[in-house]
Structure 1
């Protein structure tokens, strides 16, 4: 006859993760990756153009391509005198209208869209790109309304 001897299970000090802990780990990884991507994107956009104060912006704005990237209704409500409207929503197709051999001055309401537009222009070969610090929101110079 054969006798069966029970074998005891030996635990090696490892802990099993429950489903809640796995979900927490995955969520934290997603947050860390997302934050890293946003940080990378922000610095990439910020380095695509040079930020100018209002005084610096006014100094040469007659000699450059002055582009307002806000939507048409915002542009019509008021814009910097001499600016041309190329809304960011149509920027992908209309950015070919912007010459690469002349400096480009961009602005929007604050500066988020102008930084994105600057990055797109940089990828298209533009090298002399500037954006207005504070955007149109802080502009005190001459403006024009289209109404």
Structure 2
């Protein structure tokens, strides 16, 4: 699965389909405005929310859950890009 850094994501933020796979409580504490929350724990039940013709950028807190989510999606034919560093890296660039 391809990966992208936070810096690269910021350059193309308005052009990507960003999925935040953190739990709802984490998402509610702070998230990227353009992100849609689909928690990893419910991902397999929401696969119909994904269009196989599109590519999805997946983010979490540090990059581990998003990598797992990407594996799940790619096994079902959905193209993904993992955002390395996750929200921890995002918060470092915002402050």
TM-score, scaled relative to structure 2: 0.89
CA distance in 2, matches of 1:59, 1:130: 15
- Deviation of 1:108 after TM superposition, in Å, equals 0.3
- Count of residues paired in the alignment: 92
Residues 50 and 78, structure 2, Cα contact 8 Å, conserved in 1 = no
Which of structures 1 and 2 has the bigger CA Rg?
Answer: 1
Moved over 3 A (4+): none
- Deviation of 1:107 after TM superposition, in Å, equals 0.4
Q: Which runs of 5+ in 1 are unaligned?
A: 1-48, 142-147
Residues 70 and 85, structure 1, Cα contact 8 Å, conserved in 2 = yes
Among candidates 17, 23, 31, match of residue 65 of structure 1: 17
- Deviation of 1:67 after TM superposition, in Å, equals 0.3
- Deviation of 1:81 after TM superposition, in Å, equals 1.5
Larger strand percent: 2
CA distance in 2, matches of 1:78, 1:99: 26
CA distance in 2, matches of 1:81, 1:119: 24
Residues 65 and 98, structure 1, Cα contact 8 Å, conserved in 2 = no
Among candidates 78, 89, 94, match of residue 138 of structure 1: 89
State how 1:1-147 maps to structure 2 within 5 Å. Answer: 49-127=1-79, 129-139=80-90, 140-141=93-94
TM-score, scaled relative to structure 1: 0.59
Q: Which runs of 5+ in 2 are unaligned?
A: none
Residues 21 and 37, structure 2, Cα contact 8 Å, conserved in 1 = yes
**With CA pairs under 8 Å and 6+ residues apart, which has the higher RCO, 1 or 2?**
2
- Deviation of 1:63 after TM superposition, in Å, equals 1.7
